[in-house]
Amino acid sequence: MSTYTLYGIPNCDTVKKARTWLDAQQIPYTFHDYKKQGVDTAQLQSWIQALGWEVLVNRQGTTWRKLDAATQAAIVDAGSAISLMVAQPSVIKRPVLVGGSKPLVGFKPELYAAAFPG
């Protein structure tokens, strides 16, 4: 049986929806709180290898919008994205669910249902 980890922040509405869905399906998981536990470079690198850095940077979120234009413009590759995400984990698109064949980013019930057939 796979062990799943859901990465995010507890007060994020999308994270709450994902947790509710996982609980309703009785899928065991561990919750990793970016605010309290941070996120390390190795974890980010593995996600980027699987998904690409562009998927992980939440350019619609409040944290991104609060960054100055020069900081936003400097995010051009995996290295610059990792530096930003380590410094400001709230800029990572949420949630990230790890434990399946590849990480899932964001929450859509149909994507989770497809990842957990039966």
Catalytic-role residue among 5, 12, 14, 88: 12
Query: Which helix (H) or strand (E) is 5 found in, with range?
Result: strand 4-8
pLDDT tens digits for range 59-87: 999 999 999 999 999 999 999 999 999 99
Boundaries of every domain in the chain: 4-115
Q: Which CATH superfamily is domain 4-115 in?
A: Glutaredoxin (3.40.30.10)
Sign of the Cα torsion 104, 85, 55, 59 reads positive
> Of all residues in the chain, what percent carry a pLDDT higher than 70?
97
Asked if 39 and 89 count as a contact pair (C-beta separation under 8 A), the reply is yes
Q: Amino acid identity of 114?
A: A
Q: Amino acid identity of 42?
A: A
Q: How far apart are CA 92 and CA 64, in angstroms?
A: 9
Residue 21 scores a pLDDT above 90: yes
Tell me, yes or no, if 116 is annotated catalytic.
no
> Of all residues in the chain, what percent carry a pLDDT higher than 90?
89
Q: How far apart are CA 4 and CA 81, in angstroms?
A: 24
* Beta bridge partner(s), residue 92: 57
Place of tokens 């007060």: 11
Cα 19 to its chain centre, rounded Å, is 13
Q: What is the pTM of this model?
A: 0.92
Residue 1 binned pLDDT confidence (cut-offs 50, 70, 90): very low
